[in-house]
Chain A
Amino acid sequence: MIKDSEKHIHPVTRLIREISSIFIELGFEVAQGPEMEDEYYNFDALNVPQDHPARDMQDTFWLEPKNLKKLLRTQTSDVQIRYMKENKPPIAIIVPGRVFRNEATDATHDAQFNQMEGLMIGKDISVAHLKTVLEAFLKKLFGEDVTIRLRPGYFPFVEPGVEIDMICFKCNGKGCPACSHNGWIEILGAGMVHPKVLNNVGIDSREWQGFAFGLGIDRIVMLKYGIDDIRLMYAGDLKFNQQF
């Protein structure tokens, strides 16, 4: 048996385990879904109709033949739809998984990366509860000193939509390259699930309401460890993996 210090875990796995554990403790169930998806689950059910500018917010890998309307999922929100179709509220799930974006790759963008999405639906789950859960989560992940702020955002599948920033843990808000000299790091997108999304899956939005949120795992890994190139995560080169 080797020493603990000689055990290596891929930093993405490490973070997925950490984040999942925090949410499981808060009562969230892990859900997973396919990477190869139908347009319906990835867009239509999430209130992103065809030919809508909102589709530009995510560049998509469509698969051939086109008439099948299959794609590589652009976010793990597709699993929310699948889960809600099979399970009645109240619901609390988190979904870790690989997602794909059809955009040019560079040090901070890769065509595949990992996301963690969450969904909580209940009788009166509100924005205040969203704040509670996410603040508790971020404190467990980054420490008690975490300060967050909510500001208006837009995603087609939530309304109200918010962006959540936290004070940069590298420079404590003073400003540094990690936070683009802003002092704040954009860490989560979130919002109250759009009534159309709920009604689409047979959940009456007048009876049930709740929030959804998403975060980019690779990005947090890179920030946490000071990794300068996202592509290192998928290079399979132990010179990198061994450091973790």
Chain B
Amino acid sequence: MIISYRWLKKYFNKELPNPNDLAVLLNSHSFEVEGVEEKGSDTILDIDVLPNRAHDCLCHLGIAKEVSVLTGLEIKDIQHTDLEVETLGDFKVTIEDEKKCRRYVAVVMEGVKVGSSPDWLKQNLESLGQKSINNIVDATNYVMFNIGQPLHAFDKDKLDGNEINIRNAKDGEQIITLDNREVKLTSENLVIADSKEPLAIAGVKGGKKAEVDQNTVNLVLESANFAPITVRKTARGFSILTDSSKRFENEISPELAGVAMKELVELISEISGGKVVGKVDVYPRKPNPYKVGFTTKDANKILGLNLSDKDVEEILNKFKFEFAQIDSAKKVLELVNDLIGKSYKLGASVVYDAPHSFDCSSFTAYLFAQGGIAIPRMAVDQFVYGKEISESDLKAGDLIFSNTGEGKIYFESVEFLSGTKIEEGVDHVGLYLGDGKIIHASRYNNDGVEMGNISEFKQFKNIVGYRRMVESEEKRYVVTVPYQRMDLRIKQDLIEEIGRIYGLENIKTLPLEKIREPKVHKGFYYANKVKQILIDLGFEEIYNYTFTSEGNVKIEKPLASDKAYLRTNLSDGMKEKLDLNLKNAPLLGLDEIKIFEFGKVFSSTEEEKGMLCFGVAGKNKKNVFASVSEAIQKINADLGVDLKVKENENILEINFDALIEKLPQPESYEDVLKNPNNVESKYKHISPFPFMLRDIAVWVPNTETQESVAGLIKENGGDLLVRTKLFDVYCPEGKDKTSYAFNLVFQSNEKTLTDDEVNKIMNGITTQMQSKGWEVR
């Protein structure tokens, strides 16, 4: 999220810390700041807002609020004028599916003058890298980057009919977007339409038909809330990703739509004139604020701190959260009287339907939520969640569960510790009030929520159990979550806030004890054991890619056509690498290539196997097979297995999972995880250029050593001589001279060497040798 420092400052009366200091503050307590860049008289901060804060912080106000919490600086209380008009007269707004469009605020403004935006507005948008279009469109963008609500403006006179319909597109309907792209719609896509056709792809992109241009005089303004999944699927389906789709995709609160419209109207009136003629706010389901509760003890337990109530309250106050420290059980009981007579609704939502309608378990869930205790939504889950108590211990505030024998009965929990069995079956719950009285919501009651003696309700004839939801008497902080903070839903979310504002750097380490002597992982042990056996024999381990050009399991969107399958074996890759490395043998200074790989192979979508594959390649066939045998024999001996090798086989692939199955469970890792040496050396960049080979043999007096000869060669060979390898020593009897023969490998890091260049070096070496009286052969 690109944030303009200058824009941010407007929220505060006092001076903010300078951008770099602000970045450090945000980095340690809020978000990663990926960049701080000066842009003219402004500074741009690139803030990485992750999905959990995308509900409220993809805008300057959200970031400003974070800054306010961190610095203690007050945010200006900017109020926007209420829209006085309440209706829209003839103009109709209809939402076809309330789940896809949660709110639609439409305002009609007449008599606007469309033109270029004032400088301050242009400047603000420019600092975010946004183009200025005209004062109306700019205003919608400004408010979006200000408070996070995407907005849209339509030219009212270009609409067919006097209506806006938020509906699914019909298969085959088309729209030409503002950037002139023809899009074919399907019934999966939500559109904003007039009486004739789509005007916009809801939440994603506006259409050309009702584009606001310099001739526009009357507007229909849209401030709405669309379901995240709908917008996400549509935007990604068409690959039209916009600032608008991004915000809806991450979900924003429908409460924001009302606030944003006020701000938009005020801004448009200011910069382009115009008068509000009507407003309609279709808001079928307004969510209740969430209440989340936790205790200081909870916070300390999760964070590993020793905070006091005072410390916790200080932090909650920094957020300006509305909160109270309450006795949860008492609170629950206090609320019941006001809920008597509320209607029954099967599947009622705690967020949307309470406190007007309930079903039996949304009733209890709602009550405890007000007390800051989150219990599961369903009766059967509440039954598993609560602490079992006996009838004699029953007290006011406990829950009584029953099996009414009618409708769906649950015999195992659904969401909480799902699958927990309840033999007697549960389908109903009520809150015990003491003195034999109970209150519950039931479809069989006359009036929804009813209070009375347990004995008078047929639903409680067959009581299955009693449960306590609130354990201790401890007072709990119950926070009313501000609507923008859709990330605060459970106590751990609030505890995270406590932790990061208190400062993660202030959490001190605490001593910890080993749980137990860890069990040895059989596969890990034996794999490392065999790796060591092979390494000790001079084999080198390689890792190949899992992707191949053919196989039985296909990847849906592979990175390349020759990487579209999962490998079915390791041998194919092994052969390829043996060939590759054999070509480079001189450069590597090896006579034989000995490599191995441990890896998974996939014969079907049901079968994955762990394999071991090792292979040897070299010029001398006899030696190759000797190396293979040597490896097999050592593995057989050390592991107690009986691997066989076929004649003339230089690559062996073994099902390692199957091989170790019969082997004993090790008691300790012994030495198998020890690395035999330390690698301090820094990696040397590998040259991509081909190497050149030369041999040199020279007679030297017996007083010279192999090292002195090699030394002379290396000294005169220079940087381009990358390997010097002795391959022959001939010391004829009775003679006072010895012949040493070396393979020399030349390679440059910068280019392909020519014969001439290498010959020149060889001449230099030869000359040096001759000057010492040595006889070059």
- Name the distance in Å between B165's Cβ and chain A's nearest Cβ: 25
Knowing A154-B50, A159-B496, A160-B495 are in contact, say whether A128-B556 is a contact too (CB < 8 A): no
> CB of B559 within 8 A of chain A?
yes
Contacts of B312 in A (CB 8 A): none
Knowing A53-B250, A129-B512, A225-B682 are in contact, say whether A4-B677 is a contact too (CB < 8 A): yes
Tell me the A84-104 residues at the B interface (CB within 8 Å): 90-92, 96, 98, 100, 102, 104
Interchain CB contact (< 8 A) of B566 among A36, A66, A90, A240: A36
Contacts of B520 in A (CB 8 A): 30
Contact with A along B667-688 (1 / 0, CB 8 A): 0010001111101011111100
> CB of A63 within 8 A of chain B?
yes
- Contact between A128 and B508, CB atoms less than 8 A apart: yes
Contact with B along A111-154 (1 / 0, CB 8 A): 11000000000101111110111010000000000000111111
Interchain CB contact (< 8 A) of B518 among A92, A131, A237: A92
- Name the distance in Å between A157's Cβ and chain B's nearest Cβ: 12
> CB of B78 within 8 A of chain A?
no
- Name the distance in Å between A200's Cβ and chain B's nearest Cβ: 8
What is the bound-complex CA distance between A10 and B576, given in angstroms?
18
- Contact between A127 and B302, CB atoms less than 8 A apart: yes
Contact with B along A61-99 (1 / 0, CB 8 A): 111101010101000000000000000001110001010
Contact with B along A180-209 (1 / 0, CB 8 A): 000000000000101100011010100001
Interchain CB contact (< 8 A) of A7 among B492, B590, B676: B676
Instruction: Please choose the segment from B28-36, B258-266, B635-643 that sits at the chain A interface, where 4 or more of its residues have CB less than 8 A away.
Output: B28-36
What is the bound-complex CA distance between A29 and B535, given in angstroms?
25
Contacts of B605 in A (CB 8 A): 36, 63, 68, 70
- Contact between B686 and A232, CB atoms less than 8 A apart: yes
- Contact between B504 and A159, CB atoms less than 8 A apart: no
What is the bound-complex CA distance between A153 and B50, given in angstroms?
8
Interchain CB contact (< 8 A) of A2 among B30, B538, B590, B684: B538
Knowing A36-B605, A62-B557 are in contact, say whether A236-B675 is a contact too (CB < 8 A): no
Instruction: Please choose the segment from B274-282, B454-462, B539-547 that sits at the chain A interface, where 4 or more of its residues have CB less than 8 A away.
Output: B539-547
- Contact between B595 and A238, CB atoms less than 8 A apart: yes
The interface size of chain B toward A, counting residues with CB under 8 Å, comes to: 106
- Contact between B542 and A160, CB atoms less than 8 A apart: no
- Contact between A7 and B677, CB atoms less than 8 A apart: yes
Knowing A64-B556, A132-B510 are in contact, say whether A112-B493 is a contact too (CB < 8 A): no
- Contact between B544 and A236, CB atoms less than 8 A apart: yes
Contacts of A125 in B (CB 8 A): 512
Tell me the B365-380 residues at the A interface (CB within 8 Å): none
Knowing A10-B543, A90-B515 are in contact, say whether A236-B588 is a contact too (CB < 8 A): no
Tell me the B207-229 residues at the A interface (CB within 8 Å): 228-229
Interchain CB contact (< 8 A) of B676 among A4, A30, A202, A209: A4
Knowing A53-B249, A152-B31, A238-B595 are in contact, say whether A100-B677 is a contact too (CB < 8 A): no
Contact with A along B562-582 (1 / 0, CB 8 A): 010010000001001100110
Interchain CB contact (< 8 A) of A151 among B27, B537, B546: B27
> CB of B320 within 8 A of chain A?
no
- Contact between A100 and B31, CB atoms less than 8 A apart: no
Contacts of B535 in A (CB 8 A): 7-9
Interchain CB contact (< 8 A) of B681 among A26, A70, A124, A243: A243
- Contact between A17 and B51, CB atoms less than 8 A apart: no
Knowing A18-B675, A62-B555, A127-B504 are in contact, say whether A239-B305 is a contact too (CB < 8 A): no
Interchain CB contact (< 8 A) of B28 among A30, A124, A151, A161: A151
- Name the distance in Å between B137's Cβ and chain A's nearest Cβ: 26
Closest to A134 in B: B509
Contacts of A11 in B (CB 8 A): 679
- Name the distance in Å between A74's Cβ and chain B's nearest Cβ: 13
Interchain CB contact (< 8 A) of B507 among A128, A161, A236, A244: A128
- Name the distance in Å between A130's Cβ and chain B's nearest Cβ: 8
Instruction: Please choose the segment from B113-121, B443-451, B523-531, B618-626 that sits at the chain A interface, where 4 or more of its residues have CB less than 8 A away.
Output: B523-531
> CB of A220 within 8 A of chain B?
no
- Contact between A30 and B518, CB atoms less than 8 A apart: yes
> CB of A228 within 8 A of chain B?
yes
Knowing A63-B605, A199-B416 are in contact, say whether A152-B29 is a contact too (CB < 8 A): yes
Contacts of B676 in A (CB 8 A): 4, 7, 9
> CB of A24 within 8 A of chain B?
yes
Tell me the B593-648 residues at the A interface (CB within 8 Å): 593, 595, 597, 600, 602, 605, 608
> CB of B553 within 8 A of chain A?
yes
Contact with B along A201-244 (1 / 0, CB 8 A): 01010000100000000000000011110001110111111111
- Contact between A238 and B554, CB atoms less than 8 A apart: no
Contacts of A202 in B (CB 8 A): 417-420
> CB of B500 within 8 A of chain A?
yes
Interchain CB contact (< 8 A) of B584 among A7, A100, A238: A238
- Name the distance in Å between B659's Cβ and chain A's nearest Cβ: 16
- Contact between B581 and A199, CB atoms less than 8 A apart: no
- Name the distance in Å between B599's Cβ and chain A's nearest Cβ: 8
- Contact between B303 and A128, CB atoms less than 8 A apart: yes
Interchain CB contact (< 8 A) of A237 among B493, B524, B581: B581
Contacts of B584 in A (CB 8 A): 237-239
- Contact between B518 and A27, CB atoms less than 8 A apart: yes
- Contact between A225 and B679, CB atoms less than 8 A apart: yes
Contacts of A241 in B (CB 8 A): 540-542
- Contact between A154 and B540, CB atoms less than 8 A apart: no
> CB of A108 within 8 A of chain B?
no
What is the bound-complex CA distance between A28 and B520, given in angstroms?
10
- Contact between A199 and B555, CB atoms less than 8 A apart: no
> CB of B505 within 8 A of chain A?
yes
What is the bound-complex CA distance between A195 and B228, given in angstroms?
24
Interchain CB contact (< 8 A) of A226 among B516, B557, B683: B683
Closest to A193 in B: B492
What is the bound-complex CA distance between A72 and B731, given in angstroms?
61
Knowing A51-B232, A63-B556, A128-B304 are in contact, say whether A100-B675 is a contact too (CB < 8 A): no
- Contact between B554 and A64, CB atoms less than 8 A apart: yes
Tell me the B24-71 residues at the A interface (CB within 8 Å): 27-32, 50-54
Contacts of A29 in B (CB 8 A): 518-519, 521
> CB of B233 within 8 A of chain A?
yes
Tell me the A28-43 residues at the B interface (CB within 8 Å): 28-32, 34-36
> CB of B499 within 8 A of chain A?
yes
What is the bound-complex CA distance between A31 and B522, given in angstroms?
10
What is the bound-complex CA distance between A236 and B545, given in angstroms?
9
Closest to B539 in A: A8
Contacts of A24 in B (CB 8 A): 518, 669, 673
Contacts of B681 in A (CB 8 A): 243
- Name the distance in Å between A176's Cβ and chain B's nearest Cβ: 14
Closest to B587 in A: A239
Contacts of B531 in A (CB 8 A): 9, 13
Closest to A239 in B: B686
Knowing A24-B669, A30-B524, A36-B566 are in contact, say whether A238-B505 is a contact too (CB < 8 A): no
> CB of B511 within 8 A of chain A?
yes
Tell me the B464-523 residues at the A interface (CB within 8 Å): 490, 492-493, 495-496, 499-500, 504-505, 507-521, 523
Contacts of B679 in A (CB 8 A): 11, 14, 225, 243-244
- Name the distance in Å between B22's Cβ and chain A's nearest Cβ: 15
Which 5 residue pairs spanning A and B have beta carbons closest together? A128-B304, A126-B304, A27-B514, A160-B496, A29-B518
Q: Which residues of chain A have a CB within 8 Å of any CB of chain B?
A: 1-2, 4-14, 17-18, 20-21, 24, 26-32, 34-36, 51-54, 57, 61-64, 66, 68, 70, 72, 90-92, 96, 98, 100, 102, 104-105, 111-112, 122, 124-129, 131-133, 135, 149-154, 156, 159-163, 192, 194-195, 199-200, 202, 204, 209, 225-228, 232-234, 236-244
10 contacts between A and B (CB under 8 A): A8-B541, A30-B521, A53-B228, A68-B605, A122-B515, A126-B303, A127-B507, A159-B496, A225-B682, A226-B682
Given A36-B608, A239-B587, 7 other A-B contacts at CB below 8 A?
A7-B536, A35-B608, A90-B515, A133-B512, A149-B505, A160-B496, A236-B542
